[in-house]
Amino acid sequence: MIQVSKESASGQRPTLSFEFFPPKKPEAEPLFWGTLERLSGYRPDFVSITCGAGGSRQTGGGELVRKVHEQTGLHTVAHLTCVGASRPVLTEMLNFYRDCGITTLLALRGDPPRHEPAGTLEQGAFRYAEPFVAFIREYFPAFRIGVAAYPEGHPETPDLEQDQLHFRRKVEAGADFAVTQFFFDNDVYFRFTEECHRKGVHVPIYPGIMPVTDFKQLKRLSELCGSALPQWLVDRFAATRDDPEAMLRTGVSIAVEQCRDLLARGAPGLHFFTLNQSVAVPSILEELAGEYY
């Protein structure tokens, strides 16, 4: 398990982690760093930084990973996608992270950029995350490797059984832990993890939590990643569409309920998709303070 703080290392609290994305414009950088600084006060076990899809386009994200690691001292996890990237490019990035002192990666297939021609997946060294994980494990064995998990199934996978098989193969290839796509039905997560345990997969699977602050944005994200929006969730936001403050309060309340239930039922920790925002996650953690964090 990825553990940094004394509390989590001694088993006294569940793992806590945050995900950020590189600012797309210079004017967005103060928000990124401000959010990172605020959330670092909760002593996360790790923070992860996403990257753009495809080969050398990841270099900017790599520089941000380095800066976060060097300037904050936080356990910084680099996302690394293999889609459309050659072995030399991926090897260069892996050497870069190793030399920077990064010890943990999230190894992902990634999505091909929209402007790239069809067949981008075929042009890269690895079409899927499984052989990419195996490559890292063989040639860069010192890295701890995380992978993605999809409790509701990956949008491109025909059924949950096939998705479970793909996940198990990633673990068998050398993954140490997993972070799930966001979901709102906790039973889906526990069915997934129980099936993993039944099949002999026992790596930590951290549930991904998406605090809802913008319901329209959430709908777009759910369509892209295949995460279901239960009717009860839609109904609870129905009266908040034109009231941002009410939407935030509702989103925080839902996330607190979800997190409490996940931790009470044995989830190993929480991984928050922050979207570089500094309001929702602190509000959620303040509600959980004294119980788990």
Q: Could you write out the DSSP letters of every residue in 52-76?
A: -SSGGGGHHHHHHHHHHHHHH---E
- Average pLDDT over all residues of the chain: 89
The mean pLDDT of 259-276, rounded to a whole number, is 97
| Model confidence, pTM | 0.90
- pLDDT value, residue 24: 87
Active site residue 223: no
Stronger pLDDT, 4 or 142, i.e. the higher one: 142
- Whether residue 47 contacts residue 289, with contact meaning beta carbons closer than 8 Å, is answered with no
The mean pLDDT of 217-242, rounded to a whole number, is 91
pLDDT of residue 4 exceeding 80, the answer is no
- pLDDT value, residue 119: 53
- pLDDT value, residue 65: 95
> What percent of the chain stands above pLDDT 90?
73
Most confident range (mean pLDDT) of 60-64, 71-75, 81-85 is: 71-75
Q: Which is catalytic among the residues 7, 19, 92, 257?
A: 19
pLDDT of residue 57 exceeding 80, the answer is no
Burial group, residue 73, by CB count within 10 angstroms (0-12, 13-18, 19+): exposed
The mean pLDDT of 126-146, rounded to a whole number, is 96
The mean pLDDT of 65-81, rounded to a whole number, is 96
- pLDDT value, residue 52: 52
- Whether residue 47 contacts residue 276, with contact meaning beta carbons closer than 8 Å, is answered with no
* CA-angle at 125, arms to 123 and 130, nearest 5°: 120
Three-class SS of residue 182?
strand
How far does Cα 87 stand from its chain's mean position? 24
All structural domains of the chain with their residue ranges = 6-288
**Would you place residue 7 in the very low, low, confident or very high pLDDT band (cuts 50, 70, 90)?**
very low
pLDDT of residue 16 exceeding 70, the answer is yes
- pLDDT value, residue 54: 42
pLDDT of residue 186 exceeding 80, the answer is yes
Q: What is the CA radius of gyration of the chain?
A: 18
Has domain 6-288 been given CATH number 3.20.20.220? yes
Burial group, residue 68, by CB count within 10 angstroms (0-12, 13-18, 19+): buried
Closest CA to 189 of 227, 152, 146, 226: 152
Q: Which residues does residue 81 pair with via DSSP β-bridges, in sequence order?
A: 108
Token pair listed for 52: 């753009």
The mean pLDDT of 29-39, rounded to a whole number, is 96
**Would you place residue 60 in the very low, low, confident or very high pLDDT band (cuts 50, 70, 90)?**
low
Q: What does DSSP say about strands 46-49 and 144-149: parallel, antiparallel, or unpaired?
A: unpaired
Token pair listed for 163: 């998705």
